[in-house]
Structure formats: structure tokens, C-alpha cells
Amino acid sequence: MTVKRTGGGAAADAGLPATPAPVVALEDLSLPPRGALIGLDLGTKTIGVATSDPDRRLATGVETVARTRFSADASRLIELAAERRAVAFVLGLPLNMDGSAGPRAQSTRAFARNLARLTDLPIALWDERLSTAAVERQLIAADVSRGKRKAVIDQHAAIFILQGALDRLRAR
């Protein structure tokens, strides 16, 4: 696991950043001109992972991480980000249809806060309402079997989330 260290003291000695990475709305994300982003669709059993190209034009799937313990999950995500020289994470935030935050959104925010303690990469939260449903409709339209859909749906949802975020960033 590669963790970028900052500062000194006990946190640095433990291999942790001195201060947690920022967790912000996508609109408040400060980014360098180039660098890949890592998109995450956080499920209860798996985490779909996608990445962008360094110019942030296209999202592609990376893998689906089977969730075990937070530390193992976070380690794998940080490792994937380091391999791709990512400059930030984009985490899908599952808001309710009325825009309120239910238990899943609260769980996602807690995951983001905990991940932020382990990396310097900023974490942007991006509204992902109906992303999984939209991806499921696309896979059904493509006549993908139920078993194959289950195996790829989280990864495809991460692509959907990240592509939406990339399009929004390009428009600003």
C-alpha cells in the first residue's frame, strides 16, 4: 500500500497523513490540470472501481473489490489509485430522490471520512441517484444474463458515476 505522507509526528510514524484528505462536493474539488480520477460505487458487499484517463475525458472499469474489512478495502483502493497515479477519488453519494441523505448516504460519508484519514488524495462526493438502476437497464437492454449482470454491475455503476463527474468537471 502506498500512502503519501505529509507532516511529521505520530501520524507520519504510523504511515498516515498528518491531516485527513479533504472530503468535498465535486463542485468544490481542486485538481491539478492533469491526472486520473478513481470513481467508486460503494455497495454493502462490493465496491465498484473505475478510472479516468489523465486528461479526464473517459471513465473505464478497473475491478470490483469484494468488501471484507475497512482496512483491507481501503488498502486496495489506495493501491489502485497509486498504480494509476490518481489525483483524487470520486465517491458516489446515494441520496434519496428528494435530495435528502438516508442511511446509505450517511454510511458513504463515514466511509469517505475514514478513507480520508489514510490518504492525501482528496475525495469528492458525487450524487449517484439511480446510477445502479440506469446501468442495470443498459445491461438488460444489451441482453446480459442475470448472473453476468451481478458480476459487473458495481463496476459499471462506478463507470457511470465517474463519467457523470467527468462531464460535470469539463462543463465548469
| Other residues' Cβ atoms within 10 Å of the Cβ of residue 133 | 10
pLDDT band at 3, cuts 50/70/90? very low
Asked whether the beta carbons of 103 and 89 are under 8 A apart, the reply is: no
To the question of pTM greater than 0.85 for the whole model, the response is: no
Assign domain 19-171 to its CATH architecture.
Answer: 2-Layer Sandwich (3.30)
93: β partners: 127
Q: Residue 55: its pLDDT value, please?
A: 97
DSSP SS3 for 8 = coil
